């Protein structure tokens, strides 16, 4: 969902002006910024709108929401002046030795693997590490409605046993959860965060260091099913063009989602991590959007012990050796051997809460309407 034109966005966008713009098929900020000026002037003349005033609005919105032009010196200066760390260590020694720089800000990382391969547990570890070691906020986007606050507390307690309950609650309160059920709602969350950070200096989204989307495979599967991806019935009935159109729509939506996640990471200096099933990752081009790809596999070595093997599929540095493998025991992840991806869904009082407290996801969806 795009940011809808209204007086909230700019005082000159009255109801009359907005209705006239809708007749011109200009509904959002993106539509207004990207439309052809000569065509806009012609339409304004036909609809009785003041083109000069509308051009002022367009320029203001372009400056606020459009791409910012920077040069290499600006980027170098920002990197020197910015005191925030540029990557997040997992504080799991075997993983950090291979990744070297950790999970980088401004980059999109994929963790792929079959169900039960400890992808979510690894993300819980990374989340607690970012909140504890770097004092940064974490946003967890839950697509499976399976977030386990109990498991996060267990991992944190095992990794930092010396931490007092008060300190633990303070640290865990930096971890926030939003339930995301489809690509449209994900787009709305991303644009709400971007809008608030650009327009509000005291934004509740300020100081987010890590965003975890768990998992992207659910969203991809739902999008393909919605548009009848690879429908044999369509092929057999001769409706190939219709199937091709729907497939193109799915890929367009997925591409937009990936680009939005990358933009969120880059523009606002966040590390974005997504989990994905290995089958879905292999069947589409999602990997092409990611800067770092790790493949997880969990195997039982005996009745009482499981081992997680992590393979580096793609790295930040294209010239780096990607043949290395990491073997972790469940204890390295701060849990017992009977754990797997988000298996515990029992409700429990927790210091973690939905993000943000004063603005639910439904509020976000109506924010720009």
Ordered DSSP codes for 88-146: E--S-HHHHHHHSS-EETT-EEEEEE-TTSSHHHHHHHHHHHHHHHS--EEEEEESSS-
| Per-residue pLDDT tens listing for the chain (369 residues) | 467 888 888 889 999 999 999 999 888 887 888 788 888 888 999 989 998 889 888 888 877 765 555 556 555 555 544 545 688 998 888 888 888 778 999 899 999 999 889 999 999 999 999 999 999 999 999 999 999 999 999 999 999 999 898 988 998 899 999 999 888 889 889 988 988 888 888 888 888 999 999 989 888 888 777 765 544 334 444 444 444 555 566 677 778 888 889 889 988 999 999 999 876 655 556 777 888 889 999 988 776 788 999 988 777 665 555 667 889 988 888 886 555 444 433 334 456 656 554 344 444 444 443
Domains of the chain: 15-65 (no CATH), 85-367 (3.40.50.300)
Count how many Cα atoms sit within 13 Å of the Cα of residue 309 in the half-sphere of its side chain: 11
Q: pLDDT tens digits for 8-29?
A: 888 899 999 999 999 998 888 8
Output DSSP code: residue 369: -
The tokens of 244 are what? Answer: 């091709």
* Whole-Å CA distances, 328 to 93, 113, 144, 294: 10, 15, 25, 14
Q: Cα(first)–Cα(last) distance of the chain, in Å?
A: 10
- pLDDT digits 0-9 by tens, 46-92: 989 998 889 888 888 877 765 555 556 555 555 544 545 688 998 88
Going by their DSSP bridges, the two strands 292-302 and 305-314 should be labelled as antiparallel
Give the pTM.
Answer: 0.71
């Amino acid at each position: 969902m795009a940011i809808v034109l209204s007086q909230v966005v700019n005082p000159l966008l009255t109801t009359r002006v907005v209705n006239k713009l809708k007749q011109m098929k200009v509904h959002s900020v993106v539509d207004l910024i990207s439309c052809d000026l000569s065509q806009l002037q012609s339409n304004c003349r036909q609809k009785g709108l003041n083109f000069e005033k509308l051009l002022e609005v367009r320029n203001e919105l372009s400056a606020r929401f459009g791409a910012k032009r920077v040069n290499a010196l600006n980027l170098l200066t920002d990197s020197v002046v910015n005191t925030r760390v540029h990557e997040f260590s997992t504080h799991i020694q075997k993983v950090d030795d291979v990744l070297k720089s950790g999970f980088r800000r401004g980059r999109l990382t994929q963790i792929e693997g079959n169900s039960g391969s400890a992808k979510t547990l690894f993300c819980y570890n990374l989340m607690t590490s970012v909140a504890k070691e770097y004092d940064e906020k974490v946003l967890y986007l839950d697509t499976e409605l399976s977030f386990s606050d109990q498991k996060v507390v267990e991992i944190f307690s095992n990794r930092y046993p010396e931490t007092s309950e008060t300190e633990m609650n303070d640290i865990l309160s930096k971890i926030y959860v939003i339930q995301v059920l489809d690509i449209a709602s994900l787009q709305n969350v991303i644009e709400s965060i971007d809008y608030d950070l650009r327009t509000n200096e005291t934004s509740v989204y300020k100081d987010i260091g890590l965003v975890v989307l768990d998992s992207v495979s659910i969203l991809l599967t739902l999008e393909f099913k919605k548009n009848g991806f690879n429908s044999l019935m369509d092929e057999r009935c001769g409706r190939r063009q219709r199937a091709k159109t729907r497939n193109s729509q799915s890929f367009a939506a997925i591409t937009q989602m990936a680009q939005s996640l990358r933009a969120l990471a880059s523009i606002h200096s966040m590390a974005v991590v997504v989990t994905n099933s290995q089958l879905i990752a292999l069947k589409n081009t999602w990997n092409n959007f990611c800067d770092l790809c790790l493949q997880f596999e969990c195997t039982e070595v005996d009745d009482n012990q499981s081992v997680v093997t992590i393979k580096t599929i793609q790295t930040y540095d294209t010239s780096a050796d990607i043949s290395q493998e990491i073997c972790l025991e469940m204890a390295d992840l701060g849990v017992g051997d009977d754990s797997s991806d988000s298996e515990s869904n029992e409700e429990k009082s927790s210091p973690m809460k939905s993000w943000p407290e004063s603005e639910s996801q439904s509020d976000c969806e109506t924010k720009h309407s």
